Structure 1
Amino acid sequence: MTDQRWTLRTEHTSYTVRLCPDGPWAELDAWGPLGVEHGPSALHRSRRTHFITPADAAPAEYLPYGLRPFTGAELVASRPGGEDRGVWWEFTGAEEQPGALRLAFTDELLGLRTVLCYATVPGTDVIHRWTELTATGELRLERLDSAAVNIPVTGAARLTYLSGQWSQEFGRTQLDLARGTFTIGSLQGAPGHAYAPWLAVQDGEAAYGLALEWPGNWHITAEAEPGGSLRVRAGRVPHEGAVRLAPGETLTTPRLACAFSPDGLDGLSRVWHGYERVLSGERLHRPRKVLYNSWEATGFDVDAAGQLELAKAAADIGAELFVVDDGWFTGRADDTGGLGDWYPDPAAFPDGFGQFIDAVKALGLDFGLWVEPEAVSPGSRLYAEHPEWVYRVDGRPSRLVRNQLLLDLGRTDVQDFVIGTLDRLLGAYDIDYLKWDMNRPPTERGRPGAGPVDLDAEHVAGYLRVLDHLRAAHPHVTVEGCAGGGGRVDHATIARTDVVWPSDNTAPLDRLSVQHGFLHAHAPHIMSSWVTDAPGVFDPRPRSLAFRFVNAMCGVLGVGADLRAWTAQQRAEAAGWIARYKEVREVIHHGEARLLGTPQDPSCGVQYDLGGRTVVAALSTGRLDGAPLLPGRPDRLRLRGLDPAARYRDTATGTSYSGAHLLHHGLPFPWSAGHDADLVVLIRE
């Protein structure tokens, strides 16, 4: 077999694939900084194998069960009855274009053509990988991963992943994997609260990152293999355990985004941030407005007078957007009813919902609304008229989660209903913002009488169809993605929304940990964060209003507290913080972000750099050092990425620092009981 190699190049990295001379598969030859492909591959091996096949030991890009029988395959296919389980393919051609590559493999006997697809993302260091599977006869696919990624490691691989549960999402978690298998994923019909579809692998300072673009069931599996390499497989997980492929049908797997940075997790986070700015497209340049959300102030007790009182208070402190959360529609006195019947409650808005919105807008505020389009209450009119629209299994009871059922969004008629509902609301009322929530996973996931269906993929397609319609039909509407907090944060959602909600937990130190993990994988301009009165749930240490504001200003600032209970002094302080945020939000949303320390350190923060301005959000998380009763010094945060020879002036104090001083000694922060947060703006002189 002729040795063939192809190299994809991003802004700073290269990725080289070759056709293996030992068998019909593609292998990774090199991945790293530009030029890494020149020299013997770090993944080359002796080709001596014992009790495994050459394919099992190979750093293959994608292999089926059949060719790779022992150490894990990306593709498991068979005929419908399960006979002839396995694929034995041959290489049938390559198509190469600038920034793109397609490698085709065919099993004529089984009747399957597999194309491995690669594409660089211009202006980033991200490469997309996915697979196209085309059948000539009916097939059964038990595993249909998107890709496998091979990483040469010199010792145990350091894995970083984001884990937790509802209200504790995005906890940065690390382990060293010397041998064995590590798996994360979700079977909840969404990425879920337990794990984000994201993984980082470190070998020394080099950091490799993977993120799966799929808002349904998924897995990422890392295997430390014989021979000293780490192999990561990622893909969707069919709800039914297998997917049927009809003759002539092509199935396209979700895209796997692959990223590399020579600068560790810090550098890798900036690669992901840059990629998500590309995903936002032109909407990146629309300012994310300071919002006020009424949920924590009023809960389900929504009426026009109370909401207008809150809107007036929000406008007075500088908010730009007022969002009415759950409780605005008919039958929604609590969480047991109303979902599916999306009409404003006339008792709550006696002068009409449109007039209420006009009154909010007269205060100089945009208007937003909470919706949960996939949910239905058992007592709703919608459920009475269309009980067949919910997921169900004949003869089995339907469980309620949060007192509600889930619509089968894979059905075209359900999609049309949701689209029609949103079009009606957005057409009848002057709405600028939608918060799309999802508060229950699918449980009895069936569609009686439908035959073999791919329910998870169809729900995802329906969800994305509705979001795409919102973008096309209502381009002025800002969309926030939410699923009981951070339960559905993935690149498919991020590409179709403007912001996402990382967690329902808004307590200051709890939220700090959530945001610290979130910013490893996701950009500040999509991170919605509120200032509330919520006490610490998991870390009850009190923190000041300043701490809550500086913490929330690390992303897209919002306020969710009951402003009616705030003192005049608190409102004045809030107005000051909001004004400061508006001055620097361009730097926070468009600049390069660097995480300074961790929430476990006495001081931590985030540094943002753009156009000669550096913004540092600094937070005190630990106990004080005893000063002034005992000798002590201010805490310092060492900055990064500055020019050592340049000078930087603090706009508030006028103090001038050399870049070398800020890099070596850091910015000083004399924390005290009444001063536990600060926002510093430095101008390069």
Structure 2
Amino acid sequence: MKFPRTCAHRYMAILGAMMLVACGAMVDARAAASDSAAHIDVSGHVFRLDAAKVTYALGVNEKGQLQSIYWGPRLAPGDPLPAPVAPPGGDSINGAVDAVPQEYAGWGEGLYYEPDLKVTFPDGNRDLALRYLSHSVHGNMLSVVLKDIERPIVVTLQYEIDPGTGILRRSAVIENRTVTPVIVEQASAGTWFLPRSHDYTLRFLAGRWAAENSIYERPVQPGKTVLESRRGSTGMQNAPWFAIRRNDASETHGQVWFGALAWSGSWQIAIEQDQTEQIRVTGGFNPFDFGYKLAPGASLQTPSFYAGVTTGGMGEASRLLHRLELTRILPQAPHSRARPVLYNSWEATGFDVNEAGQTALAEKAASIGVERFVMDDGWFGARNSDKAGLGDWTVNPQKFPHGLKPLIDRVHALGMDFGIWVEPEMVNPDSDLYRAHPDWVLNMTGRPRTLGRNQMVLNLARPDVRAYVFGALDKLLSENQIAFLKWDYNRSWSEPGWPQVSPDQQKNVYVDFVSNVYGILEELRRKHPNVEIESCSSGGGRVDLGIMHLTDEVWPSDNTDAFDRLRIQDGFTQAYTPGVMMAWVTDSPSSMDGRSMSLEYRFLSAMQGSLGIGANLTKWTTQDVTTAQRLIADYKVVRETVQHGDLYRLVSPDSGSEHSATENVSPDKAHAVLFAFLHSSTEGYLYPTVRLQGLDADARYRVRVLQGTLAERTPTVASGAYWMNVGIDVVMRGDFQGAAIAFDRE
């Protein structure tokens, strides 16, 4: 099927690159199951997808509706599946259509629950009834085509299952084959159905600036819980992730359904229990203020919605999603490079950057083992504060009279690569760019233009704005040996108008803006394949599977207080792999809470992710330098395990816990590293015994202390079974203590 080249189609092409590698094969239902491949079986109008430990089944009923049949632990080959049967009818209150678990429901036929698609036609008709038209199978992707019963609105549903994790990717392509434009008012990737039950608990992540990713739980009860962002970007208010567990499920065992959206704009996930106690989870574009004008012959691709199921508890749900991100989502997947140890100059210099000062910092950073030096804000235009210069991406000649080359050359001579901060989607009113193009920002004619951090949002939906942003970044990268962009995004949208297009097309900005951000990132990566990029947004304001497909790491929070970070990182890893989690060692007392913590504690907190240093190195003592050199060297030994291994959250820091502990195990189980933390000891009680997880029970592991003290009589070598059942005792007393212990298979 071919689609016209529209902006929406451009987004579809980008998402096409995100599709999982096809490596399965269509097999007969009697074929033997294998965990090493994905299988799609078609029997009549029943479709069954199997991979890893998961089976997903759907089918077409006698009315032509596509309905869910089963989603859960993997069934045996040949196990019977219930036939898709539409209920015979409804009562005067609840129509029959509500009783059908439709995989993709149009708003019509008396539908009362959350629709997947809502369309307004030029004649005012808003009724949409989708029926099965055809299907096809290519590798491990099933495509099912639906069409309205009377008008040529065609929806192609995509189901793609990952062989390694059993996680399913769903999305929809909506095509207007009529002769007039239509307005798409709501569009999701699809709806997930859970088995009917009373014992479900929803887990989700919510927060704010400097307090991202707090874990919340609530019972799933009649009604609807809406997780969303209306900010034009992913947002900190909610993360685009959910998990629904059985009430008896825990971190280590029990059934959990989980999922995450791949979309970096306004989004919504609705968890709904209807009047028949059916659980539905629907996710896609946020319908608030949404109205995509779809021209005749044009198509609109929804975000992708990834979801999986496990019987291994919340911990296994996270590990499966982490594995998908590492092997399928990230730009370098499945062989992602380990993140280098990074230094960032922001906290040392603020906007006061110049060649001499940055060179001095680079020399100190190199002396402790840093591999990447990043110059932050203040290097361009008239940028001496956050009130001017954004948008003018030319080197400030007073600060760098010879350009960036002398600094970059010195950084390279010190054995590090060079990175730089940019915020390309924003503009200050006090800038040459805004003075030349005041119409380039999101705005509504005649209305105030709200400032956030003294800046406005450029309208990247406009082709000329997209061309300018790409051109400025391409020139910067082409003229300088830059290995890394810290891509920042420091405010949410306001006045999301687009006066240059017709009123009925202005709401296309919600899709076209994000499509062009993806397009710029994709084009930069193609033209500059050795450049790596971090997604930063005043902290964790833009972290999702969509932006992660085009960036190498993310910034979880502007809060770098080492103790606060334990809780933030615990929430972050519910959905996202530690391999992309940038974590800095910063000064003490912390700027956030005024809390004093040892340098060792600050390092251990940051070593649980991708290690960075943001402290003012000019204030460090000789002892600080020696400590940093030792811990950075230790981190380089264990970082492959930390960044690309399996994470076990052994003790949560949530809910005021005095203790927390995490463990990372390499995929081959040859190595593990334990991080343990104590807030405050009380009344002489010992730190609890820590029992490891995920080791090879029959293998023997040698213990190695990176930081901290072990109890007397701790064996030097013991079996995996010993460390997992007897455990290990770490000696910690006082306030803000930490330990790091490595385990290596002999």
TM-score (norm 1): 0.95
1:30 matched to 2:84? The reply is no
CA distance in 2, matches of 1:229, 1:621: 43
Most deviating of 232-241 and 191-200: 232-241
Choose which of 58, 66, 76 in structure 1 pairs with 2:108: 66
Name the SS of the counterpart of 2:519 in structure 1: helix
In the other structure, the counterpart of 1:271 is 320
Q: 1:68 to 1:15 in 2, by over 3 A?
A: farther
Residue 540 of structure 1 deviates from its aligned partner by 5.8
Most deviating of 414-423 and 116-125: 116-125
Question: Which amino acid in the other structure matches residue 231 of structure 1?
Answer: R
In the other structure, the counterpart of 1:603 is 659
Question: Which amino acid in the other structure matches residue 635 of structure 2?
Answer: Y
Q: 1:534 to 1:61 in 2, by over 3 A?
A: farther
Name the SS of the counterpart of 1:548 in structure 2: helix
Choose which of 39, 50, 56 in structure 1 pairs with 2:98: 56
CA distance in 1, matches of 2:76, 2:259: 20
In the other structure, the counterpart of 1:223 is 272
Residue 48 of structure 1 deviates from its aligned partner by 7.3
Residue 539 of structure 1 deviates from its aligned partner by 6.2
In the other structure, the counterpart of 1:616 is 673
Choose which of 94, 97, 101 in structure 1 pairs with 2:138: 97
In the other structure, the counterpart of 2:577 is 523
In the other structure, the counterpart of 1:183 is 226
Name the SS of the counterpart of 1:637 in structure 2: coil
Question: Which amino acid in the other structure matches residue 296 of structure 2?
Answer: P
Aligned pair count?
678
Most deviating of 146-155 and 646-655: 646-655
Q: 1:239 to 1:408 in 2, by over 3 A?
A: farther
Tell me, yes or no, if the aligned pair for 2:649 and 2:663 is still in contact at 8 Å: yes
Tell me, yes or no, if the aligned pair for 1:603 and 1:637 is still in contact at 8 Å: no
User: What CA deviation, in whole Å up to 9, does each residue of 1:367-426 have, x standing for no partner?
Assistant: 110000011111111111111211111111211111011111111111111111111111
Question: Which amino acid in the other structure matches residue 362 of structure 1?
Answer: A
In the other structure, the counterpart of 2:17 is none
Name the SS of the counterpart of 1:676 in structure 2: strand
Most deviating of 148-157 and 379-388: 148-157
Most deviating of 537-546 and 390-399: 537-546
Tell me, yes or no, if the aligned pair for 1:147 and 1:256 is still in contact at 8 Å: yes
Q: 1:328 to 1:95 in 2, by over 3 A?
A: same
Q: 1:43 to 1:483 in 2, by over 3 A?
A: farther
TM-score (norm 2): 0.87
CA distance in 2, matches of 1:68, 1:306: 68
CA distance in 2, matches of 1:44, 1:680: 57
Question: Which amino acid in the other structure matches residue 693 of structure 2?
Answer: R
Tell me, yes or no, if the aligned pair for 1:502 and 1:528 is still in contact at 8 Å: yes
CA distance in 2, matches of 1:105, 1:199: 27
Residue 18 of structure 1 deviates from its aligned partner by 1.4
Residue 4 of structure 1 deviates from its aligned partner by 2.4
Name the SS of the counterpart of 1:639 in structure 2: coil
Residue 88 of structure 1 deviates from its aligned partner by 2.2
Equivalence map 1:416-495=2 (5 Å): 416-451=467-502, 452-453=505-506, 454-495=508-549
CA distance in 2, matches of 1:537, 1:119: 46
CA distance in 2, matches of 1:538, 1:558: 18
Equivalence map 1:162-177=2 (5 Å): 162-177=205-220
Tell me, yes or no, if the aligned pair for 2:59 and 2:66 is still in contact at 8 Å: yes
Tell me, yes or no, if the aligned pair for 2:87 and 2:100 is still in contact at 8 Å: no
In the other structure, the counterpart of 1:496 is 550
Residue 90 of structure 1 deviates from its aligned partner by 2.9
Most deviating of 370-379 and 634-643: 634-643
CA distance in 2, matches of 1:242, 1:315: 52
Tell me, yes or no, if the aligned pair for 2:66 and 2:131 is still in contact at 8 Å: no
Name the SS of the counterpart of 1:679 in structure 2: strand
Name the SS of the counterpart of 2:240 in structure 1: strand
Residue 538 of structure 1 deviates from its aligned partner by 7.1
CA distance in 1, matches of 2:343, 2:592: 25
Name the SS of the counterpart of 1:56 in structure 2: helix
In the other structure, the counterpart of 1:145 is 188
CA distance in 2, matches of 1:3, 1:595: 44
Most deviating of 534-543 and 451-460: 534-543
Q: 1:36 to 1:263 in 2, by over 3 A?
A: farther
Most deviating of 464-473 and 12-21: 12-21
Tell me, yes or no, if the aligned pair for 1:43 and 1:59 is still in contact at 8 Å: no
1:131 matched to 2:162? The reply is no
Identity percentage of aligned residues: 35
Most deviating of 632-641 and 408-417: 632-641
Residue 286 of structure 1 deviates from its aligned partner by 2.1
In the other structure, the counterpart of 1:111 is 152
CA distance in 2, matches of 1:219, 1:617: 36
Choose which of 289, 296, 313 in structure 2 pairs with 1:247: 296
In the other structure, the counterpart of 1:641 is 694
- Aligned CA RMSD, in angstroms, stands at 2.2
Tell me, yes or no, if the aligned pair for 2:665 and 2:672 is still in contact at 8 Å: yes
In the other structure, the counterpart of 2:615 is 561
Residue 132 of structure 1 deviates from its aligned partner by 1.6
Most deviating of 279-288 and 268-277: 279-288
User: What CA deviation, in whole Å up to 9, does each residue of 1:182-226 have, x standing for no partner?
Assistant: 001011111101111111111241111111111001100001123
In the other structure, the counterpart of 1:660 is 721
Equivalence map 1:351-390=2 (5 Å): 351-390=402-441
Choose which of 302, 315, 330 in structure 2 pairs with 1:280: 330
CA distance in 1, matches of 2:275, 2:287: 29
Residue 140 of structure 1 deviates from its aligned partner by 1.9
Name the SS of the counterpart of 2:144 in structure 1: strand
Residue 73 of structure 1 deviates from its aligned partner by 1.5
Choose which of 673, 677, 684 in structure 1 pairs with 2:738: 677
Equivalence map 1:504-543=2 (5 Å): 504-533=558-587, 535=589, 542-543=596-597
Choose which of 344, 360, 366 in structure 2 pairs with 1:315: 366
User: What CA deviation, in whole Å up to 9, does each residue of 1:113-150 have, x standing for no partner?
Assistant: 12222112343322111112111222222111111000
Question: Which amino acid in the other structure matches residue 299 of structure 2?
Answer: T
CA distance in 1, matches of 2:89, 2:596: 61
CA distance in 1, matches of 2:580, 2:121: 44
User: What CA deviation, in whole Å up to 9, does each residue of 1:313-359 have, x standing for no partner?
Assistant: 11111101110111111211100000011112121123432112212
Shift >6 Å, 4+ stretches: 42-48
Most deviating of 510-519 and 532-541: 532-541
Name the SS of the counterpart of 1:622 in structure 2: strand
Residue 54 of structure 1 deviates from its aligned partner by 2.5
Question: Which amino acid in the other structure matches residue 605 of structure 1?
Answer: A
User: What CA deviation, in whole Å up to 9, does each residue of 1:471-503 have, x standing for no partner?
Assistant: 101111111111111111111110111101011
CA distance in 1, matches of 2:614, 2:234: 26
Residue 41 of structure 1 deviates from its aligned partner by 5.2
Choose which of 192, 199, 202 in structure 2 pairs with 1:159: 202
Question: Which amino acid in the other structure matches residue 144 of structure 1?
Answer: A
Residue 26 of structure 1 deviates from its aligned partner by 1.5
Tell me, yes or no, if the aligned pair for 1:74 and 1:148 is still in contact at 8 Å: yes
In the other structure, the counterpart of 2:392 is 341
Question: Which amino acid in the other structure matches residue 35 of structure 1?
Answer: L
Question: Which amino acid in the other structure matches residue 294 of structure 2?
Answer: L
CA distance in 1, matches of 2:644, 2:83: 36
Residue 91 of structure 1 deviates from its aligned partner by 2.1
Tell me, yes or no, if the aligned pair for 1:170 and 1:196 is still in contact at 8 Å: yes
Residue 675 of structure 1 deviates from its aligned partner by 7.4
CA distance in 2, matches of 1:399, 1:272: 38
Residue 168 of structure 1 deviates from its aligned partner by 0.9
Tell me, yes or no, if the aligned pair for 1:510 and 1:537 is still in contact at 8 Å: no
Residue 597 of structure 1 deviates from its aligned partner by 1.4
Q: 1:56 to 1:104 in 2, by over 3 A?
A: same
CA distance in 1, matches of 2:671, 2:735: 25
CA distance in 2, matches of 1:319, 1:504: 21
Name the SS of the counterpart of 1:649 in structure 2: strand
